[in-house]
Amino acid sequence: MTVSKRKQIYEIINEHIEVEHERDYVSEYIRNLHEKISELESSVSRKKKRRSGRRRKSKLGTSHKKRGSEG
C-alpha cells in the first residue's frame, strides 16, 4: 500500500469518526430538547390547573362575601 493510499484511508476514517461524533452530539441535543419541552408542557399544565382552581376559589369566596354582607 502506498503512502498516498494509506493517507486517503486515514482521511476517510477520520471523516467518518467526525460524522459519528456530530451525529451523537445532535442526537443528544435533540434528546435534551425533548426533555425540556416535556418539562415545559408539564409546568404549563400545572399552572393551568392552579389557575382554574384559583378562579373557582375566588368565585366561591366572592359569592360568600356577598351573601354575608346582604344578610
> What band does 46 get if pLDDT is binned at 50, 70 and 90?
confident
Residue spans per domain, the chain = 21-57
What per-residue confidence (pLDDT) applies to 70?
53
Q: What is the pTM of this model?
A: 0.51
What per-residue confidence (pLDDT) applies to 55?
57
What per-residue confidence (pLDDT) applies to 56?
57
| Per-residue pLDDT tens digits for 51-68 | 766 555 555 556 555 555
Summary mean pLDDT of the chain: 82
What per-residue confidence (pLDDT) applies to 47?
78
SS (H, E, C) the chain: CCHHHHHHHHHHHHHHHHHHHHHHHHHHHHHHHHHHHHHHHHHHHHHHHHHHHHHHHHHHHHHHHHHHHHC
